[in-house]
Amino acid sequence: MRRAVSIVAGACAALALVGTAGSVAWTQTADEGRTVGTWQEPAVAAPTPVAVQQPVGETSAGKKAAGEDAVGATTAGESRGGGPRDHESAIKTPEDGRQKIGELLSVDKLLGYRAPKREVFRYPGASYVKLHFSRMTMLPGDYVTVSDASGEESYRYDAPKLLDTAAPNDRWAMSITGDTAVLEVHRGGGALLSSLLGRLGVHVDQVAKGFSKQEQANTRQEEVRNPNRTGREESVCGGDESSDAVCYRPADPVAYTRSKAIARLLINGTELCTGWRIGTKNRMMTNNHCFDNSDDAYETEVWFNYQCAKCGGYDVFRPTKVWGDKVIATNHVYDYTLFTVEKFAAVRKFGFLTLDTGRPARGQELYVPQHPAGEPTRIAGRRGEKAGTCAVADNAFDGYAQDSDVSYYCDTEGGSSGSPVLSRKTDKVVALHHFGGCPNSGVRADLLYKRIKSYI
Protein backbone atom coordinates (compact mmCIF):
# COMPACT_ATOMS: atom_id res chain seq x y z
CA MET A 1 0.00 0.00 0.00
CA ARG A 2 1.06 3.58 -0.57
CA ARG A 3 1.50 6.26 2.06
CA ALA A 4 -1.73 7.76 3.45
CA VAL A 5 -2.25 11.12 5.13
CA SER A 6 -3.48 12.76 8.32
CA ILE A 7 -3.06 16.32 9.66
CA VAL A 8 -1.06 17.75 12.54
CA ALA A 9 -1.57 21.52 12.72
CA GLY A 10 1.08 24.01 13.77
CA ALA A 11 1.27 27.79 13.91
CA CYS A 12 3.34 28.01 10.71
CA ALA A 13 2.37 24.90 8.81
CA ALA A 14 -0.07 22.04 8.66
CA LEU A 15 1.70 18.75 8.07
CA ALA A 16 0.67 15.15 7.94
CA LEU A 17 1.88 11.62 8.27
CA VAL A 18 -0.03 8.41 8.75
CA GLY A 19 0.92 4.75 8.59
CA THR A 20 -1.80 2.48 7.28
CA ALA A 21 -1.10 -1.23 7.23
CA GLY A 22 2.57 -0.41 7.68
CA SER A 23 2.67 2.18 4.90
CA VAL A 24 3.56 5.73 5.83
CA ALA A 25 2.69 9.12 4.33
CA TRP A 26 3.61 12.74 4.81
CA THR A 27 2.39 16.03 3.39
CA GLN A 28 2.84 19.69 4.25
CA THR A 29 1.36 23.06 3.43
CA ALA A 30 3.49 26.01 4.40
CA ASP A 31 2.85 29.59 5.37
CA GLU A 32 5.13 31.48 3.03
CA GLY A 33 4.91 34.62 5.17
CA ARG A 34 6.92 33.17 8.06
CA THR A 35 10.51 32.07 8.29
CA VAL A 36 12.12 29.09 9.96
CA GLY A 37 15.70 29.06 11.19
CA THR A 38 18.63 30.81 9.59
CA TRP A 39 21.15 30.00 6.90
CA GLN A 40 24.37 31.10 8.58
CA GLU A 41 27.08 32.68 6.46
CA PRO A 42 30.56 31.31 7.25
CA ALA A 43 33.56 33.51 7.83
CA VAL A 44 35.18 32.64 4.50
CA ALA A 45 36.17 34.45 1.36
CA ALA A 46 34.49 34.37 -2.03
CA PRO A 47 32.62 31.22 -3.11
CA THR A 48 34.82 28.33 -4.16
CA PRO A 49 33.98 26.02 -7.03
CA VAL A 50 32.88 22.73 -5.49
CA ALA A 51 32.19 20.13 -8.12
CA VAL A 52 34.36 17.04 -7.74
CA GLN A 53 35.38 14.94 -10.68
CA GLN A 54 33.43 11.74 -11.19
CA PRO A 55 35.12 9.08 -13.33
CA VAL A 56 32.77 8.08 -16.11
CA GLY A 57 33.04 4.72 -17.81
CA GLU A 58 31.27 3.00 -20.62
CA THR A 59 27.49 2.85 -20.88
CA SER A 60 26.17 -0.13 -18.90
CA ALA A 61 24.79 -3.16 -20.69
CA GLY A 62 21.45 -2.44 -19.07
CA LYS A 63 21.10 0.80 -21.05
CA LYS A 64 20.20 0.74 -24.71
CA ALA A 65 23.16 1.56 -26.90
CA ALA A 66 21.29 4.36 -28.66
CA GLY A 67 20.20 5.91 -25.39
CA GLU A 68 16.49 5.19 -25.80
CA ASP A 69 14.15 6.12 -22.98
CA ALA A 70 13.94 3.58 -20.17
CA VAL A 71 10.37 3.90 -18.94
CA GLY A 72 9.82 2.91 -15.32
CA ALA A 73 12.43 1.75 -12.85
CA THR A 74 15.97 0.86 -13.81
CA THR A 75 18.50 -1.05 -11.75
CA ALA A 76 19.95 0.99 -8.91
CA GLY A 77 23.72 1.33 -8.96
CA GLU A 78 24.14 0.86 -12.69
CA SER A 79 27.29 2.28 -14.23
CA ARG A 80 26.63 5.79 -15.49
CA GLY A 81 28.78 5.75 -18.59
CA GLY A 82 29.41 8.30 -21.28
CA GLY A 83 32.03 10.75 -22.42
CA PRO A 84 35.03 12.34 -20.71
CA ARG A 85 33.17 15.13 -18.89
CA ASP A 86 32.24 15.33 -15.20
CA HIS A 87 28.87 15.64 -13.50
CA GLU A 88 28.81 18.98 -11.79
CA SER A 89 27.11 17.69 -8.67
CA ALA A 90 29.29 14.59 -8.47
CA ILE A 91 30.57 13.40 -5.13
CA LYS A 92 33.40 11.01 -4.48
CA THR A 93 31.35 7.83 -4.94
CA PRO A 94 31.74 6.85 -8.61
CA GLU A 95 28.26 5.33 -8.85
CA ASP A 96 26.52 8.51 -7.73
CA GLY A 97 26.13 11.95 -9.24
CA ARG A 98 24.84 13.94 -6.32
CA GLN A 99 26.24 16.67 -4.09
CA LYS A 100 26.79 15.62 -0.48
CA ILE A 101 25.09 18.06 1.90
CA GLY A 102 24.97 16.08 5.13
CA GLU A 103 26.29 13.12 7.08
CA LEU A 104 24.90 9.95 8.62
CA LEU A 105 25.34 9.46 12.36
CA SER A 106 24.85 6.19 14.22
CA VAL A 107 22.65 6.41 17.32
CA ASP A 108 20.92 3.92 19.62
CA LYS A 109 17.72 5.33 21.08
CA LEU A 110 14.74 3.26 22.19
CA LEU A 111 11.49 5.02 23.09
CA GLY A 112 8.10 3.98 24.43
CA TYR A 113 6.51 1.67 27.01
CA ARG A 114 9.25 0.91 29.59
CA ALA A 115 11.70 3.22 27.83
CA PRO A 116 11.62 7.05 27.75
CA LYS A 117 8.71 8.44 25.72
CA ARG A 118 10.46 11.57 24.44
CA GLU A 119 13.89 12.21 22.93
CA VAL A 120 15.41 15.42 21.58
CA PHE A 121 17.94 15.15 18.73
CA ARG A 122 19.80 18.45 18.55
CA TYR A 123 22.81 19.23 16.35
CA PRO A 124 23.66 22.95 16.64
CA GLY A 125 23.82 24.67 13.26
CA ALA A 126 22.47 21.70 11.27
CA SER A 127 20.29 22.69 8.32
CA TYR A 128 17.98 19.70 8.85
CA VAL A 129 17.62 16.58 11.00
CA LYS A 130 16.21 13.33 9.62
CA LEU A 131 15.57 10.21 11.74
CA HIS A 132 15.74 6.58 10.68
CA PHE A 133 13.64 3.96 12.47
CA SER A 134 15.02 0.44 12.56
CA ARG A 135 11.97 -0.74 14.48
CA MET A 136 8.46 0.61 15.09
CA THR A 137 6.62 -1.90 17.29
CA MET A 138 3.54 -0.22 18.74
CA LEU A 139 0.04 -1.13 19.86
CA PRO A 140 -2.94 -0.18 17.68
CA GLY A 141 -3.92 3.35 18.59
CA ASP A 142 -0.40 4.38 19.55
CA TYR A 143 1.61 6.76 17.37
CA VAL A 144 4.80 8.80 17.29
CA THR A 145 5.45 12.36 16.21
CA VAL A 146 8.63 13.92 14.88
CA SER A 147 8.58 17.70 15.28
CA ASP A 148 10.77 20.74 15.44
CA ALA A 149 11.40 22.37 18.82
CA SER A 150 8.37 24.66 18.50
CA GLY A 151 5.99 22.00 17.19
CA GLU A 152 5.23 24.06 14.07
CA GLU A 153 6.62 21.39 11.75
CA SER A 154 5.36 17.97 12.80
CA TYR A 155 4.88 14.54 11.22
CA ARG A 156 2.83 11.71 12.69
CA TYR A 157 3.35 7.95 12.37
CA ASP A 158 0.49 5.68 13.42
CA ALA A 159 0.99 2.10 14.56
CA PRO A 160 0.43 -0.44 11.78
CA LYS A 161 -2.64 -2.61 11.90
CA LEU A 162 -2.60 -5.52 14.32
CA LEU A 163 -0.93 -8.69 12.96
CA ASP A 164 0.13 -6.93 9.78
CA THR A 165 3.17 -9.04 8.91
CA ALA A 166 3.86 -6.98 5.77
CA ALA A 167 4.39 -3.76 7.72
CA PRO A 168 7.96 -2.49 7.27
CA ASN A 169 9.97 -1.78 10.42
CA ASP A 170 12.80 -0.04 8.59
CA ARG A 171 11.98 3.49 7.38
CA TRP A 172 13.14 7.09 7.16
CA ALA A 173 11.08 9.94 8.52
CA MET A 174 10.58 13.20 6.66
CA SER A 175 13.34 15.63 7.62
CA ILE A 176 12.82 18.44 10.10
CA THR A 177 14.07 21.84 8.94
CA GLY A 178 16.57 23.30 11.40
CA ASP A 179 18.90 21.74 13.94
CA THR A 180 16.45 20.04 16.32
CA ALA A 181 14.06 17.09 15.96
CA VAL A 182 11.84 16.01 18.85
CA LEU A 183 10.62 12.41 18.80
CA GLU A 184 7.70 11.52 21.06
CA VAL A 185 5.67 8.34 21.59
CA HIS A 186 1.93 8.84 22.24
CA ARG A 187 -0.15 6.09 23.80
CA GLY A 188 -3.63 5.57 22.51
CA GLY A 189 -3.93 1.98 23.73
CA GLY A 190 -4.33 0.63 27.24
CA ALA A 191 -1.65 1.40 29.80
CA LEU A 192 -1.87 -2.09 31.34
CA LEU A 193 -1.18 -3.85 28.06
CA SER A 194 1.54 -1.35 27.27
CA SER A 195 3.31 -2.21 30.52
CA LEU A 196 3.57 -5.84 29.43
CA LEU A 197 5.52 -5.05 26.26
CA GLY A 198 8.87 -4.57 27.98
CA ARG A 199 11.42 -3.08 25.63
CA LEU A 200 9.24 -3.11 22.55
CA GLY A 201 8.82 0.35 21.10
CA VAL A 202 10.40 2.70 18.58
CA HIS A 203 14.13 2.38 17.87
CA VAL A 204 16.19 5.06 16.10
CA ASP A 205 19.49 3.79 14.76
CA GLN A 206 20.58 6.58 12.38
CA VAL A 207 20.29 10.33 12.03
CA ALA A 208 20.96 12.26 8.82
CA LYS A 209 22.25 15.70 9.80
CA GLY A 210 22.36 18.46 7.19
CA PHE A 211 25.60 20.42 6.96
CA SER A 212 25.67 23.93 8.34
CA LYS A 213 26.86 26.66 6.01
CA GLN A 214 30.30 26.51 7.61
CA GLU A 215 30.52 22.72 7.24
CA GLN A 216 29.47 23.02 3.61
CA ALA A 217 32.22 25.59 3.08
CA ASN A 218 34.75 23.24 4.67
CA THR A 219 33.56 20.47 2.35
CA ARG A 220 34.15 22.75 -0.62
CA GLN A 221 37.72 23.42 0.50
CA GLU A 222 38.38 19.67 0.88
CA GLU A 223 37.08 19.08 -2.64
CA VAL A 224 39.22 21.88 -4.08
CA ARG A 225 42.30 20.26 -2.50
CA ASN A 226 41.41 16.86 -3.94
CA PRO A 227 44.57 15.62 -5.74
CA ASN A 228 42.41 13.92 -8.38
CA ARG A 229 41.02 17.21 -9.67
CA THR A 230 41.58 17.84 -13.36
CA GLY A 231 40.65 21.53 -13.51
CA ARG A 232 37.45 20.80 -15.41
CA GLU A 233 35.32 20.68 -12.27
CA GLU A 234 35.09 24.43 -11.62
CA SER A 235 31.65 25.77 -12.34
CA VAL A 236 31.79 29.26 -10.86
CA CYS A 237 33.28 30.92 -13.93
CA GLY A 238 35.21 33.93 -12.67
CA GLY A 239 33.36 35.85 -9.96
CA ASP A 240 30.06 34.39 -8.75
CA GLU A 241 27.30 36.51 -10.27
CA SER A 242 24.41 34.49 -8.85
CA SER A 243 22.13 35.99 -6.19
CA ASP A 244 19.39 34.92 -3.81
CA ALA A 245 16.19 34.39 -5.78
CA VAL A 246 14.35 37.02 -3.74
CA CYS A 247 16.88 39.64 -4.92
CA TYR A 248 15.33 39.35 -8.39
CA ARG A 249 11.79 40.13 -7.25
CA PRO A 250 11.88 43.96 -7.67
CA ALA A 251 13.87 44.25 -10.91
CA ASP A 252 13.17 40.89 -12.52
CA PRO A 253 9.82 39.58 -11.27
CA VAL A 254 9.42 37.05 -14.10
CA ALA A 255 12.69 35.31 -13.22
CA TYR A 256 11.70 35.34 -9.55
CA THR A 257 8.29 33.81 -10.31
CA ARG A 258 9.85 31.12 -12.51
CA SER A 259 12.26 30.21 -9.70
CA LYS A 260 9.31 29.14 -7.54
CA ALA A 261 8.86 26.08 -9.78
CA ILE A 262 12.20 24.54 -8.83
CA ALA A 263 12.73 22.17 -5.92
CA ARG A 264 15.57 20.99 -3.71
CA LEU A 265 15.84 17.19 -3.96
CA LEU A 266 17.08 15.51 -0.77
CA ILE A 267 18.17 12.03 -1.86
CA ASN A 268 19.08 9.23 0.57
CA GLY A 269 19.08 11.68 3.46
CA THR A 270 22.40 13.39 2.70
CA GLU A 271 22.66 14.07 -1.05
CA LEU A 272 21.31 16.83 -3.24
CA CYS A 273 20.22 17.66 -6.75
CA THR A 274 17.81 20.23 -8.16
CA GLY A 275 14.49 19.41 -9.84
CA TRP A 276 11.59 21.38 -11.29
CA ARG A 277 7.97 21.11 -12.31
CA ILE A 278 7.49 20.67 -16.04
CA GLY A 279 4.05 21.37 -17.54
CA THR A 280 0.66 21.45 -15.85
CA LYS A 281 0.53 17.77 -14.88
CA ASN A 282 2.18 16.03 -11.96
CA ARG A 283 5.60 15.90 -13.61
CA MET A 284 9.06 16.72 -12.28
CA MET A 285 12.38 16.82 -14.13
CA THR A 286 15.93 16.22 -12.91
CA ASN A 287 19.08 14.47 -14.17
CA ASN A 288 19.38 10.74 -14.77
CA HIS A 289 22.63 10.86 -12.79
CA CYS A 290 20.67 12.14 -9.75
CA PHE A 291 18.42 9.07 -9.74
CA ASP A 292 16.99 6.77 -12.39
CA ASN A 293 14.49 4.47 -10.68
CA SER A 294 11.25 4.60 -8.72
CA ASP A 295 12.76 3.16 -5.55
CA ASP A 296 15.10 6.16 -5.26
CA ALA A 297 12.34 8.57 -6.28
CA TYR A 298 10.08 7.15 -3.55
CA GLU A 299 12.69 7.91 -0.87
CA THR A 300 13.51 11.41 -2.18
CA GLU A 301 12.22 14.50 -0.42
CA VAL A 302 11.12 17.28 -2.77
CA TRP A 303 11.36 20.73 -1.16
CA PHE A 304 9.56 23.67 -2.74
CA ASN A 305 9.94 27.29 -1.60
CA TYR A 306 13.28 26.77 0.14
CA GLN A 307 14.23 30.42 -0.36
CA CYS A 308 15.70 33.30 1.59
CA ALA A 309 13.08 35.71 2.92
CA LYS A 310 15.19 38.83 2.24
CA CYS A 311 17.86 39.68 -0.32
CA GLY A 312 21.23 38.98 1.27
CA GLY A 313 19.59 37.82 4.50
CA TYR A 314 19.86 34.52 6.33
CA ASP A 315 16.24 33.85 7.30
CA VAL A 316 14.67 31.15 5.13
CA PHE A 317 11.03 30.24 4.50
CA ARG A 318 9.80 26.93 5.80
CA PRO A 319 9.79 24.74 2.66
CA THR A 320 6.81 22.75 1.46
CA LYS A 321 7.97 19.12 1.43
CA VAL A 322 6.48 16.18 -0.45
CA TRP A 323 7.81 12.75 -1.32
CA GLY A 324 8.84 11.66 -4.80
CA ASP A 325 6.77 8.85 -6.27
CA LYS A 326 7.38 7.14 -9.63
CA VAL A 327 9.89 7.47 -12.44
CA ILE A 328 8.00 7.77 -15.73
CA ALA A 329 10.94 8.00 -18.13
CA THR A 330 14.70 8.23 -17.81
CA ASN A 331 17.62 8.33 -20.22
CA HIS A 332 21.34 8.21 -19.61
CA VAL A 333 22.66 9.76 -22.83
CA TYR A 334 20.35 12.78 -22.53
CA ASP A 335 20.73 12.66 -18.75
CA TYR A 336 17.11 13.21 -17.70
CA THR A 337 14.63 11.63 -15.34
CA LEU A 338 10.94 12.46 -15.47
CA PHE A 339 9.08 11.57 -12.27
CA THR A 340 5.98 12.28 -10.20
CA VAL A 341 5.46 13.36 -6.59
CA GLU A 342 2.95 12.44 -3.93
CA LYS A 343 0.47 15.07 -2.70
CA PHE A 344 0.79 17.04 -5.91
CA ALA A 345 -1.94 19.47 -4.82
CA ALA A 346 0.38 20.82 -2.11
CA VAL A 347 2.95 22.03 -4.67
CA ARG A 348 0.73 22.98 -7.60
CA LYS A 349 0.64 26.59 -6.37
CA PHE A 350 4.34 27.07 -7.10
CA GLY A 351 3.77 27.02 -10.85
CA PHE A 352 5.56 25.19 -13.64
CA LEU A 353 8.04 25.63 -16.48
CA THR A 354 7.80 24.67 -20.15
CA LEU A 355 10.37 23.53 -22.70
CA ASP A 356 11.44 25.74 -25.58
CA THR A 357 11.20 23.58 -28.71
CA GLY A 358 13.59 25.75 -30.69
CA ARG A 359 17.36 25.67 -30.32
CA PRO A 360 18.60 28.92 -28.73
CA ALA A 361 20.87 31.23 -30.74
CA ARG A 362 24.44 31.90 -29.70
CA GLY A 363 24.64 34.92 -27.43
CA GLN A 364 21.07 34.52 -26.21
CA GLU A 365 20.84 35.59 -22.58
CA LEU A 366 19.98 32.98 -19.97
CA TYR A 367 19.21 32.57 -16.28
CA VAL A 368 19.45 29.48 -14.06
CA PRO A 369 17.40 29.05 -10.86
CA GLN A 370 19.10 26.39 -8.72
CA HIS A 371 20.09 25.04 -5.30
CA PRO A 372 23.90 25.27 -5.47
CA ALA A 373 25.66 23.34 -2.68
CA GLY A 374 22.31 22.91 -0.93
CA GLU A 375 21.72 26.63 -0.44
CA PRO A 376 18.30 28.29 -0.62
CA THR A 377 17.28 29.10 -4.20
CA ARG A 378 19.72 31.27 -6.11
CA ILE A 379 19.53 32.54 -9.68
CA ALA A 380 22.51 32.89 -12.01
CA GLY A 381 22.06 35.42 -14.79
CA ARG A 382 20.94 38.94 -15.44
CA ARG A 383 19.12 40.87 -12.74
CA GLY A 384 17.29 43.81 -14.28
CA GLU A 385 19.70 45.46 -16.69
CA LYS A 386 22.77 43.52 -15.51
CA ALA A 387 23.57 41.09 -18.34
CA GLY A 388 26.63 39.40 -16.85
CA THR A 389 28.14 36.39 -18.63
CA CYS A 390 25.14 34.08 -18.54
CA ALA A 391 24.46 33.54 -22.23
CA VAL A 392 24.64 30.78 -24.84
CA ALA A 393 28.28 30.19 -25.78
CA ASP A 394 27.67 27.24 -28.11
CA ASN A 395 24.30 25.80 -29.14
CA ALA A 396 25.83 22.59 -30.52
CA PHE A 397 28.11 21.49 -27.68
CA ASP A 398 29.09 17.87 -27.06
CA GLY A 399 27.67 16.25 -23.93
CA TYR A 400 27.25 12.50 -23.78
CA ALA A 401 26.33 12.70 -27.47
CA GLN A 402 27.54 14.92 -30.28
CA ASP A 403 25.82 18.33 -30.37
CA SER A 404 23.50 17.28 -27.53
CA ASP A 405 24.17 20.26 -25.26
CA VAL A 406 24.05 24.03 -24.96
CA SER A 407 27.10 25.56 -23.29
CA TYR A 408 27.26 28.74 -21.18
CA TYR A 409 29.23 30.47 -18.44
CA CYS A 410 26.33 30.85 -16.00
CA ASP A 411 27.58 30.25 -12.44
CA THR A 412 26.59 26.91 -10.90
CA GLU A 413 27.95 24.67 -8.17
CA GLY A 414 27.65 21.13 -6.87
CA GLY A 415 23.95 20.43 -6.31
CA SER A 416 22.88 22.47 -9.33
CA SER A 417 22.58 19.32 -11.45
CA GLY A 418 19.05 19.02 -12.78
CA SER A 419 18.42 22.78 -12.83
CA PRO A 420 16.48 24.41 -15.67
CA VAL A 421 18.36 26.84 -17.94
CA LEU A 422 15.89 29.46 -19.14
CA SER A 423 16.00 31.85 -22.05
CA ARG A 424 15.73 35.53 -21.16
CA LYS A 425 13.90 36.03 -24.45
CA THR A 426 11.15 33.41 -24.02
CA ASP A 427 11.28 32.56 -20.29
CA LYS A 428 11.16 28.91 -21.34
CA VAL A 429 13.64 26.15 -20.57
CA VAL A 430 16.30 25.77 -23.27
CA ALA A 431 18.52 23.25 -21.46
CA LEU A 432 18.66 20.81 -18.54
CA HIS A 433 21.86 21.64 -16.65
CA HIS A 434 24.15 18.69 -15.95
CA PHE A 435 27.85 19.50 -16.50
CA GLY A 436 30.40 21.89 -15.02
CA GLY A 437 33.78 22.80 -16.46
CA CYS A 438 33.55 26.42 -17.69
CA PRO A 439 31.90 26.38 -20.04
CA ASN A 440 29.13 24.57 -18.18
CA SER A 441 26.45 22.85 -20.20
CA GLY A 442 22.95 21.42 -20.27
CA VAL A 443 21.07 19.01 -22.52
CA ARG A 444 19.16 20.82 -25.27
CA ALA A 445 15.46 21.21 -24.48
CA ASP A 446 14.43 20.68 -28.12
CA LEU A 447 15.98 17.20 -27.95
CA LEU A 448 14.31 16.49 -24.61
CA TYR A 449 10.93 17.55 -25.92
CA LYS A 450 11.02 14.97 -28.70
CA ARG A 451 11.57 12.23 -26.14
CA ILE A 452 9.11 13.20 -23.42
CA LYS A 453 6.31 15.08 -25.19
CA SER A 454 3.93 12.14 -24.87
CA TYR A 455 4.35 12.20 -21.05
CA ILE A 456 3.88 15.91 -20.40
Query: For residues 6 and 8, what is the distance between their CA atoms, to the nearest angstrom?
Result: 7
For the segment 228-279, what is each residue's pLDDT rounded down to a tens digit? 444 433 366 765 667 888 898 888 899 999 999 999 999 999 999 999 999 9
For the segment 184-227, what is each residue's pLDDT rounded down to a tens digit? 998 875 555 545 555 568 899 999 999 987 887 777 656 544 44
| Mean of pLDDT over the chain | 76
For the segment 74-100, what is each residue's pLDDT rounded down to a tens digit? 333 333 233 334 444 333 333 345 888
Query: For residues 356 and 379, what is the distance between their CA atoms, to the nearest angstrom?
Result: 19
* Helix H or strand E segment including 446: helix 445-452
Once rounded to an integer, what is the mean pLDDT over residues 283-304? 96
Once rounded to an integer, what is the mean pLDDT over residues 300-318? 89
407, amino acid identity: S
Once rounded to an integer, what is the mean pLDDT over residues 312-337? 93
| CATH 3.20.20.80 at 215-452, yes or no | no
pLDDT at 305 over 90: yes
pLDDT at 139 over 90: no
CB 83 within 8 A of CB 192: no
In three-state secondary structure terms, 34 is coil
> Which candidate, 297, 241, 249, 235, places its Cα nearest to that of 2?
297
In three-state secondary structure terms, 222 is helix
Query: For residues 455 and 292, what is the distance between their CA atoms, to the nearest angstrom?
Result: 16
Question: pLDDT band for position 312 (50/70/90)?
Answer: confident
Query: For residues 202 and 220, what is the distance between their CA atoms, to the nearest angstrom?
Result: 37
Domain ranges of the chain: 8-31+102-210, 215-452
Query: For residues 317 and 338, what is the distance between their CA atoms, to the nearest angstrom?
Result: 27
CB 251 within 8 A of CB 81: no
Query: For residues 324 and 161, what is the distance between their CA atoms, to the nearest angstrom?
Result: 25
- What phi and psi, each to the nearest 5 degrees, are found at residue 248? -85, -15
> What's the gap between Cα 376 and its chain centre?
11
In three-state secondary structure terms, 423 is strand
What is the CATH code of the structural domain delimited by 8-31+102-210?
A: 2.60.120
